[in-house]
Amino acid sequence: MGTVTQRGSALLETTIAVGILAVVAGAALGAGSFAAGSGARMAIRGALQDAAESELRIALDALKYDGTSLAPRTVATTVPLAGASPLPVALSLQSAPQADGSVYVTITAAARTDASQRVTLEATLDRRAPLPGTQLRAPGLVPAPTGAP
């Protein structure tokens, strides 16, 4: 009878050990998949940030001259992801002239596959240059320096 009890307890101990190993393995796999998911989210955020920065530079270049404006626009495109297929993205542009003559620009890059993945960049263009080829004239006459020969 002692031998049968010993076998039963050995079976019980083995079952408990296998259960503990399964829980530990499940936790390790869960942590690994969380880390992989977190890495993917960081890669997506980086790609969105790069796309928004690039578009912001282009928008500021286009708006740097007096008399230019950009209409609000949203464009569907893709951005490259390292080691993955391109990410479908919606790039949005908003610009608003301010009372002081500056222009406020907002660029938003949002993943079309996951609405929670979005990056918004804002900038203010303080001074605008005259259009190329414009001849500027000073208002009024400039007085001659005193003591000139």
pLDDT, tens digit, 9 for 90 and up, residues 81-133: 877 888 999 999 999 988 888 889 999 999 998 888 999 999 998 877 777 77
The mean per-residue pLDDT over the stretch 10-25 comes to 71
The domain of 112 spans: 7-125
Answer yes or no: is pLDDT of 76 > 90: yes
Instruction: Please give the mean pLDDT across all residues of the chain.
Output: 79
The mean per-residue pLDDT over the stretch 34-40 comes to 55
Contact yes or no for 27/19 (Cβ under 8 A): no
CA distances from 86 to 3, 50, 57, 76, 83 (A): 65, 14, 22, 12, 9
Classify residue 2: in a domain, yes or no: no
> What is the β-pairing status of strands 118-125 and 103-111?
antiparallel
Q: Which two tokens stand for residue 55?
A: 């578009």
Answer yes or no: is pLDDT of 34 > 70: no
Question: Model pTM?
Answer: 0.62
- H or E stretch at 107: strand 103-111
Classify residue 133: in a domain, yes or no: no
Q: Which two tokens stand for residue 68?
A: 């230019």
Domain count, the chain: 1
Neighbours of 94 (CB within 10 A): 17
Q: Which residue has the tokens 């009890």?
A: 5
Q: What's the pLDDT score for residue 85?
A: 85
Classify residue 140: in a domain, yes or no: no
